[in-house]
Structure 1
């Protein structure tokens, strides 16, 4: 990163802080102009009823961290229409949201340059990252915007006491619990592309100050922004609260978000410019109906029981017992041996699925083309408990456990024979004579709970399961006195992994070796209040993290990856916080190194790049696993808010990152049936980490025009955005040029208006209208390839080679919501 840019942000931050601080001092003390700002990040203490000891919020620790809190009100306003809850994060420094163009629930969050699999996401203290690969799929959490009381984004080391290594940061989702007051709410919303959503909730309140129930139900549906990206789903939430005595509080929560949505792939710029920015190469017509080969369908109910026990004046215990059951998967064209994919209409770009369907309907027999479903089922149970003890007035101690067990099942089944009679499977070692499959299964999240392939002879291409057991112990001391605080955290954990492969091995050899790995993390920090309203802090941490399950076994078989080592992460942070009556500012600097890591990426095979992998059918993906990667991330962040008068609030942020790869990596390429295609070595030294903007600036305001009516707008600018790297073979490095693909910078403006009207003492009517990307900016949000401008002498679009596979961002969208408090 250019050193001058770092200096500019640093000097600018302190200059602006000093200027606004002086302005606050000389400003009139008229109460209509000066408003007490209690804290730059809204306290969450009052939003919680249970689970305080296991929900690690910045408020709970006096030594500061880099954190941003997003309130329930902000979520309800910003996350409307077809947006994922990630839309609420877009105006946060060092946070980049991508992937929305893939369809409902397809967005991804990158924090300080680290993807979601390397950022911790907690639901009321319960980890929700996948235990096998660390990933988070927002389509499984479409109800989060309805049930969240707040979200706290902790960038970097965070305040979590769990034995987790949150390299990028920690996102704490604090949901509703059983509410104390009786009442309800109904809301209905509409948005572009025929989107509709309705929500109803009701709270009994606490009956006899002991028992209460809160419920919520939602239905949504829409056509999606891109062609052929329809979706539909429901959200449900129920919470039972019980307070048997003064010192005990219990709360049981059950929630889920069954959904299905059709997906859009990245496409080459050539196709997008020819067929339109909303083009979707997964689609074609059958009997006059547009269908999409790729659909995600899933249901992941989550249950947790929270128990808070005030043992004594200085001691408390908080425990959460949780479980989740995932059912569902994703569809796609079947590309096994002897199959072919539908051709395309060169005029429309749509697949000629009708021709293939008619041919198979007439001839019957074995399918040359079918829709398969890749199923990912799991059962997950866990326990998190934390004991807090106040040793002295200045010294606090926490200790606890984090226990988890996970069983995953992965296989392929048939979704649609597309006019044929059966599909022949001939390579299952447990069935050497092969078998024919005729049973098909619906891509419906409600059916997926129990209706999936349970017999081995209904499964094709692969069939395996895994067991992951995890146990961790953590502890923390924090000392706080007058103008000084300090803390130390430590955690140690053990993880065991085992795999059963029912497809590539005979029955007596289907079970893999059981692997065991230890990990640990250490964190410490201190802060000084150097003068009134001024505080500085420093944090440091070191993690030794066990490899994810998917990286311990090679080639999608039971072959043990003997070179897999614990990932090593070092994190350092410095920070400065200023807070006055109506202005606050946070400034952070960070440095993170990460060794022995494993990354993943994918490449869509098309007619133009099929020469790279001739055995792979166009229209399907090649997936890459890159091992031995080292990364170095450093950067600066600024976040501030200013309230010059009671009716106007201003906010701004900026972040500059310098994220690079170090050394070389071994890359393995696999097709969608998990067959190994190639192994290569690629030198990455000095290349930029892609998939997120390394330069970000933003500003926004909220202005109350008159009582009950307010307007707001947010502006953000993203630059130094690079395409994600795949592998040398993927990018045809010999001809594509050197370095990263740099995408054009872009800026966006979102705006909204809110009207609140008090109907009665208890009832309120709210109307909200949003327009995102007000000026309909056309921009490339991400790229999965790395072809340089001069590669193959191709044309360029805004300086980008048209052979690159990209997603355009959304153009102008809108949504409107009416909400009635009952």
Structure 2
């Protein structure tokens, strides 16, 4: 009996002790900026994996494993908060403040994704979080979402996905874009085509814009800066959404996403699929496409995590080229010279079609508490091109309304065997493979380093094809193929079909060549940091080889000489923390950047002949300094920069006989630009539930010195050589050198929020054509200044809790350019004088070919989160 009593007392004591070792901790998580509950925040008992998430109203309750200790509260895009508890504790309202960090966003590939948080020495950076992307993206591409960050301007272009972005006055070819650490700019020319990435914002956790030198560890040498797109990979918890969106001009989009989260067996699966279609803002800019995303993750233990990802956005869309300003004034801002009707259906002869599946396999290895290794192998397979009318008399066939009469063109082709008016495409396909790997090691609490490898292997495939013959049977000959051959195959615009089909060489014309570009680089960084001071040194070395192989029917041109270029970059900087609220920093760097493939040849489309100056590296020098202030209610970033871009090469082409085929080519060498300016960002929370943020960017971007130009025809015959373009002191065009913006958000109630964004653009100049008459004399008149303009965008969000604690329905309405302002976003010509038949509009000759900004547009979406 005594033994039983002792056993009972022992069990009772153990039960009591176990009970006393646990505590219940509760509270409500609040958004400091909006003074509203923050659902989905993570609450984890420090030192354990024991955690819960806050519900729709921000409430949480966690049963801890210890009687006292700390809980760590975090949410994507917000600063962490650590709270102590002792026994059962109600923490009350716990406020999280937004910050620029991206903690807990990146689980996969964190060692190869270049985020500013990976380095303690600051850079000029702006971060757009998932919540803002989800609300404001609507049916826009990424450049439109980024327009409210300093020194960024978006030009929308003529059709879906045709927009482009300028950063500190540099275009997209000179800004590095990364998707989860993987470079996605074109290997040949650095170009970006947003139509290939139409679904990326649906799966984006965050986008970070690093202006200027940035914090990139990779062996890349961007001039304007680096844009990091961080997508979902392995989610921590199960969930998803379904969304339906509509918008102006019959836009419709449906999207569904689901993730299992990281399951107990270590597996995680997520998938997204979507479809969109619409008529487009411009005439004849109708388009449609799909988006898909699959991610499979596996975490066998705390040391390793793997992930396989595939995503793509097959699409086609009508395009609208720049027209003379007079045409828009006479025929409306939506006017498009390329469209008409064919067999009773709207038909755009200018059309983009493409499918670019991207896959990557990543591995993160936590070797120890001090060492990690991240590796990602990737591949993309692009198929498609840009189609547009071809033929000397194509544009002569018009109906009573002035639209292109495609039925009449077909009838003429069928009745006239010599007629050659049809729709052709410049096909630009590729096979691209790459490997990134980065090792990081923390020597001690103050000193750390990393080093890695960046390798890329690229095969570009280029030719002209008949997309729609419209009944024509054109026959071609060339110097390398003197036997006439007739085009009989037409590829069509279907991006799925073109992904899995090929075209024989004897059905290609105009040009037919491939290129091999191989790139291998190494990079490294060392950083020293204390509570007050930090400094870093970073370097990269790379070698890049180019080889071109030309084909024409069965004879071909053969392989060119292989060109090898070595490039490097060096960056260094330091920062001083005056106190917790004030930081100053300075960074400097020098890049020796290899020329693009298209710069190496006298005529990349038709010749293996190398430029005499084409293999020289570009030289980029960057200096920047900054000051960061942060407090509970006001934060600010001030940056100044000075960038020199020297020894640039610029190539262009012209269709002088207006038959849809470029026949005169221009090249300029030794171009030097100087970009300098100051940027200020301010973030404030003046009242409960109200946030007001703004920025001002003041730039001065000019050409320094004159340049030499030359021209040649399609057979590589020199037409002119040694010409001088007098551009010294001329303003760099295409992007506004003064921009300012103000955006405000207000939580009317817990569920209802309103926001407004105002943007102003000034000191905007036309594009500079070095071969144009305006620059062939020393008395040039510079680039014309375009009128300043401003836009106002409005948004409304409403969120309603439904069913389970984390389920909710969100309604979002966006209205862009509320006042329907008419403005010029870009001018591709630089005509000063008003010729006969033209007028002047706000000081600009209407003979100039321009792109107008879109008028008032809108989109509305309904989203169910579960």
Task: Give TM-score, length-normalised by structure 1.
Answer: 0.90
743-752 vs 659-668, which deviates more? 659-668
Is 2:809 the counterpart of 1:765?
yes
Out of 383, 391, 404, which is 2:435 matched to? Answer: 383
Out of 259, 262, 286, which is 2:318 matched to? Answer: 262
Matched ranges for 1:50-199 at <5 A: 50-81=108-139, 83-98=140-155, 100-199=156-255
Is 2:559 the counterpart of 1:477?
no
Matched ranges for 1:500-579 at <5 A: 500-503=549-552, 506-507=555-556, 509-556=557-604, 557-564=607-614, 565-579=616-630
Supply the distance in 1 between the matched residues of 2:452 and 2:613 (Cα, whole angstroms): 32
Q: Quickly say closer, same or farther: Cα 1:601–1:789, change in 2 above 3 A.
A: same
Out of 785, 791, 801, which is 1:742 matched to? Answer: 785
Aligned 8 A contact 2:326 2:838 in 1: no
Quote the residue 1:609 is aligned against. none
Look up the SS of the partner of 1:550 in the other structure.
helix
Alpha-carbon RMSD across the aligned residues, in angstroms, is 2.3
Supply the distance in 2 between the matched residues of 1:291 and 1:673 (Cα, whole angstroms): 33
Q: CA deviation at 1:569?
A: 0.2
Q: CA deviation at 1:581?
A: 1.2
Q: CA deviation at 1:660?
A: 0.4
Supply the distance in 2 between the matched residues of 1:579 and 1:589 (Cα, whole angstroms): 18
Q: CA deviation at 1:791?
A: 5.4
Q: CA deviation at 1:644?
A: 2.1
Q: CA deviation at 1:288?
A: 3.4
CA deviations 1:674-710 (Å, max 9, x no partner) are 9987654312111010010000111111100011110
Greater CA radius of gyration, 1 or 2?
2
CA deviations 1:373-413 (Å, max 9, x no partner) are 21111000001100000011100100000011000110011
CA deviations 1:332-373 (Å, max 9, x no partner) are 1224xxx5323164974423444332222223x344211112
Look up the SS of the partner of 1:193 in the other structure.
coil
Supply the distance in 2 between the matched residues of 1:821 and 1:567 (Cα, whole angstroms): 49
Aligned 8 A contact 1:101 1:225 in 2: no
Q: Quickly say closer, same or farther: Cα 1:436–1:330, change in 2 above 3 A.
A: same
Look up the SS of the partner of 1:628 in the other structure.
strand
Quote the residue 2:25 is aligned against. none
Look up the SS of the partner of 1:102 in the other structure.
coil
Supply the distance in 2 between the matched residues of 1:283 and 1:753 (Cα, whole angstroms): 35
Aligned 8 A contact 2:240 2:258 in 1: yes
Aligned 8 A contact 1:584 1:642 in 2: yes
Look up the SS of the partner of 2:173 in the other structure.
helix
Quote the residue 1:29 is aligned against. none
Quote the residue 1:700 is aligned against. 743
Q: CA deviation at 1:271?
A: 1.3
Out of 727, 730, 739, which is 1:687 matched to? Answer: 730
CA deviations 1:317-346 (Å, max 9, x no partner) are 0111101000000111224xxx53231649
Quote the residue 2:493 is aligned against. 443
Q: Quickly say closer, same or farther: Cα 1:434–1:664, change in 2 above 3 A.
A: farther
Look up the SS of the partner of 2:395 in the other structure.
coil
Supply the distance in 1 between the matched residues of 2:676 and 2:694 (Cα, whole angstroms): 21
CA deviations 1:274-305 (Å, max 9, x no partner) are 11111101112333333211110000000011
Quote the residue 1:46 is aligned against. 104
Quote the residue 1:11 is aligned against. none
Aligned 8 A contact 1:555 1:675 in 2: no
Look up the SS of the partner of 2:112 in the other structure.
coil
CA deviations 1:176-202 (Å, max 9, x no partner) are 012121222100000000000000011
Q: CA deviation at 1:37?
A: 7.3
Aligned 8 A contact 1:585 1:639 in 2: yes
Supply the distance in 2 between the matched residues of 1:696 and 1:290 (Cα, whole angstroms): 38
Aligned 8 A contact 1:555 1:676 in 2: no
Supply the distance in 2 between the matched residues of 1:762 and 1:772 (Cα, whole angstroms): 31
Supply the distance in 2 between the matched residues of 1:808 and 1:735 (Cα, whole angstroms): 31
Look up the SS of the partner of 1:89 in the other structure.
helix
Aligned 8 A contact 1:119 1:169 in 2: yes
Look up the SS of the partner of 1:117 in the other structure.
helix
CA deviations 1:125-173 (Å, max 9, x no partner) are 1000111111111011111111111000000000001111111000000
Aligned 8 A contact 1:40 1:579 in 2: no
Out of 551, 576, 585, which is 2:636 matched to? Answer: 585
Aligned 8 A contact 1:187 1:818 in 2: yes
Look up the SS of the partner of 1:706 in the other structure.
coil
Supply the distance in 2 between the matched residues of 1:333 and 1:671 (Cα, whole angstroms): 21
Q: Quickly say closer, same or farther: Cα 1:367–1:791, change in 2 above 3 A.
A: closer
Aligned 8 A contact 1:342 1:369 in 2: no
Supply the distance in 2 between the matched residues of 1:415 and 1:673 (Cα, whole angstroms): 25
Matched ranges for 1:421-500 at <5 A: 422-427=473-478, 429=480, 431-453=481-503, 455-500=504-549
Count of residue correspondences: 769
Matched ranges for 1:394-413 at <5 A: 394-413=446-465
CA deviations 1:746-801 (Å, max 9, x no partner) are 01000100001111213110000010001111111110000114556941011110
Extract unaligned runs of 5+ from structure 1.
Answer: 1-33, 606-612
Supply the distance in 1 between the matched residues of 2:716 and 2:198 (Cα, whole angstroms): 29
Supply the distance in 2 between the matched residues of 1:258 and 1:326 (Cα, whole angstroms): 10
Aligned 8 A contact 2:169 2:701 in 1: yes
Aligned 8 A contact 2:774 2:782 in 1: no
Supply the distance in 2 between the matched residues of 1:175 and 1:108 (Cα, whole angstroms): 21
Out of 288, 305, 316, which is 2:361 matched to? Answer: 305
Supply the distance in 1 between the matched residues of 2:315 and 2:712 (Cα, whole angstroms): 28
Supply the distance in 2 between the matched residues of 1:380 and 1:555 (Cα, whole angstroms): 23
Aligned 8 A contact 2:397 2:409 in 1: no
Aligned 8 A contact 2:727 2:775 in 1: no
Look up the SS of the partner of 2:456 in the other structure.
strand
Q: CA deviation at 1:617?
A: 3.1
Aligned 8 A contact 2:725 2:776 in 1: no
Matched ranges for 1:662-673 at <5 A: 662-668=704-710
Q: Quickly say closer, same or farther: Cα 1:292–1:676, change in 2 above 3 A.
A: farther
CA deviations 1:417-469 (Å, max 9, x no partner) are 2122x22111150x32121121111111001112231x211101110000000
Supply the distance in 2 between the matched residues of 1:459 and 1:779 (Cα, whole angstroms): 41
Aligned 8 A contact 2:157 2:164 in 1: no
CA deviations 1:72-124 (Å, max 9, x no partner) are 1111111103x1122110101100101x2410000000000111111100011
Is 2:775 the counterpart of 1:775?
no
Aligned 8 A contact 1:310 1:316 in 2: yes
Look up the SS of the partner of 1:432 in the other structure.
strand
Aligned 8 A contact 1:616 1:671 in 2: no
Look up the SS of the partner of 2:148 in the other structure.
coil
Quote the residue 2:851 is aligned against. 807
Look up the SS of the partner of 1:529 in the other structure.
strand
Aligned 8 A contact 1:151 1:174 in 2: yes
Look up the SS of the partner of 2:201 in the other structure.
helix
Look up the SS of the partner of 2:411 in the other structure.
helix
Is 2:690 the counterpart of 1:648?
yes
Look up the SS of the partner of 2:737 in the other structure.
strand
Is 2:408 the counterpart of 1:351?
no
Aligned 8 A contact 1:40 1:641 in 2: no
Look up the SS of the partner of 1:446 in the other structure.
helix
Q: Quickly say closer, same or farther: Cα 1:187–1:494, change in 2 above 3 A.
A: same
